[in-house]
A = this chain, B = another copy of it.
Amino acid sequence: MLILLTNDDGIRAPGLVAMYRELVRMGEVHVVAPETVQSATGHGITLSAPLLTNQVTVEDTFTGTSVDGRPADCVKLAVAKILPRQPDLVISGINSGANVGINVIYSGTVAAAIEAAFLGLPSIAVSLYLRNEIPIDYARTAGLAMKVIRQILEGGLKGGQVVSVNIPPLRAGEPPTGVKVVRQCTAAWNDTYDERIDPRGRPYYWNNTIFRLGATEEDTDVAALREGYITVTPLQFDLTHYPMLREWSDREWRI
C-alpha cells in the first residue's frame, strides 16, 4: 500500500511525525509536505510562482520532500511528479488544532485531503482539538487516529471520497467517549479585531477571535468533539447549493 502523507503545519510538525510512525506499519509512506506552516491558508494553490523543493530528514524517522507552497500544491505535485505511482491513500495531518465547523473551509489540512479527492484518490484529514489545560500527546492521538483510519478503510473508502477525523483532547488514561459520524456545523464565528496604530500613524488590525467550540446543534462535529467523541465527517467538493438550484431553475431571465 502506497500512502502519501502531508499536512499544513509543515514537514517538521510533531503531529505529522507521529502519524508517520503509525502509518508506516500499514504500508510504504511518502511524505510531501509544506516547508513552512500553512495554517488557515485554505485551498490556495501556487500557479504564478515556482515550487521549490528539498529533501528533508526529520527526527531520524523519515526523509521526505518539503515544498515551498500550500498543502494542496504538495498533493498535486506529489501525484504529478514525486511519487513512483498513484498513492492508494492520502492522509493529511495530524493537524495541531480542530478542524470542525466553519474552520473546515479555512483549513489547509482539509484542503490537502479534498485536493486528493479531486484527483480521484481516497483521503482522510486528521486533526487534534487542543485545549490549554490538557497536555498534547501526538503519539496517542496518532494511535487513536490509526484505529479509525483502519475502520474507515475496512468499510470501503473509494477514490474521490474524503473524510475529516477530529480527535478530542484526552488526559492520560482517559478514553474518548466514542466515535460519531456527524455533519459539519455551519454556525458563524463572531470575528473580532484589535485596532492598533503603526509607527507611522496608520491603523492596522489583528484578528483576536478566540476559537472556542461554542453552542451548536447536537448532531454536529462541534457538539460531538466537545463531548469527547472522535468525530468522522464525510466531505464533498461540489459547492452547488442544490435546493436553491432547483428553486431557481424555472426562473425567467432578461438580458
Which residues of A are in contact with B by a Cβ distance under 8 Å? Answer: 39-54, 70, 72, 76-77, 79-81, 102, 104-106, 110-111, 114, 118-120, 144, 147-148, 151, 155, 161-163, 175-176, 178-179, 181-184, 186, 188-189, 191-193, 195-196, 198, 202-207, 209, 230, 232-242, 244-245, 248-249, 251, 253-255
On whether the beta carbons of B44 and A48 are closer than 8 Å, the reply is: no
Which residue of chain B has its CB nearest to the CB of A48?
B39
Bound CA–CA A209/B51 (angstroms): 14
Complex interface: chain B residues within 8 A of A114 (CB): 105
Query: Chain B residues near A193 (CB, 8 Å)?
Result: 51, 76-77, 80-81
Cβ-defined contact, B237 with A105, below 8 A: yes
Question: Does B81 contact A188, Cβ atoms closer than 8 Å?
Answer: no
Which residues of the other chain, B, contact A178 by a CB distance below 8 angstroms? 253, 255
Assess whether A144 is in contact with B183, with CB atoms less than 8 Å apart.
no
